[in-house]
A = this chain, B = another copy of it.
């Protein structure tokens, strides 16, 4: 925006600036407003200057998608189990982190899952985001709290749940949602509980009230505030 102050950057900084500006235009002014000229104008460079950093408009778009996936994956992976922590708890924490990231970075989420135009020949990217989840599901099966069953079936059902609530909240902010944290918790609890052995349901199940996670959320406000 402030043209003069923006100049004099290192190459990498300019590249990042282009991406940020492009993302903003894309997300806040719609698909049609995403033009190289506008990006260039916004950052105070000539349109031609952009070609020093990206070879085409398409490449910018791809970089944006990639960046968004990377951010999502990183947020998901950032959840690390405490020593001796219940694997089901770890899993749930990861799922919450996933949703929280989507809500906190709706632009990233949109790019990663909603905007991307699928070109069949394009390499499949979302897998990395899915892998972290799958690993945690594996541990839940290994320790006997999840019923034995198809690992991918379980993982994908959980992914469906978190993606569903995230994308609805991101994509339809004007809908009269109930309290977002309650909703997210309900969705995750149901999805996870459905995979537990009968026995585990009494120690981890959502509505039965004795999961650490649920208890925590009842007593601590901060997270709710953040996500709202």
Q: How many copies does the complex hold?
A: 4
Please give, as numbers and ranges, the residues of chain B lying within 8 Å of A179 by CB-CB distance.
Answer: 153
Look across to chain B and name the residue whose beta carbon is closest to the beta carbon of A154: B186
CA gap between A144 and B69 in the complex, in Å: 43
CB distance from A163 to the nearest CB of B (A): 5
Look across to chain B and name the residue whose beta carbon is closest to the beta carbon of A120: B174
Asked if A187 is at the interface (CB within 8 A of a chain B CB), the reply is yes
Residue of B124, B173, B207 near A174 (CB, 8 A) is B124
Chain A contact residue count (CB 8 A cutoff): 53
Chain A: interface secondary structure? Answer: helix
CA gap between A32 and B113 in the complex, in Å: 18
Given the known A-B contacts A164-B164, A164-B165, A190-B157, are A150 and B171 also in contact in the complex, defined by CB atoms under 8 Å?
no
CA gap between A172 and B159 in the complex, in Å: 13
CB distance from A207 to the nearest CB of B (A): 6
Asked if A118 is at the interface (CB within 8 A of a chain B CB), the reply is yes
Flag if B150 contacts A160 (CB, 8 Å).
no
Residue of B32, B147, B164, B173 near A207 (CB, 8 A) is B147
CB distance from A197 to the nearest CB of B (A): 9
Known: A154-B186, A193-B194. 15 other contacts (CB 8 A): A31-B31, A116-B171, A118-B173, A124-B174, A152-B178, A156-B177, A157-B183, A157-B186, A159-B168, A160-B165, A161-B161, A161-B164, A161-B191, A164-B167, A190-B190
> Can you list 25 contacts pairing A with B, beta carbon distance less than 8 Å?
A31-B117, A116-B171, A118-B172, A118-B173, A118-B174, A126-B175, A127-B175, A150-B182, A153-B178, A153-B179, A153-B182, A156-B168, A156-B178, A156-B183, A157-B190, A159-B164, A160-B187, A161-B187, A161-B191, A163-B168, A187-B191, A189-B194, A194-B194, A194-B206, A198-B208
Which residues of A line the B interface, CB within 8 A? 30-32, 113-114, 116-118, 120, 124, 126-127, 130, 147, 150, 152-154, 156-157, 159-165, 167-168, 171-179, 182-183, 186-187, 189-195, 198, 206-208
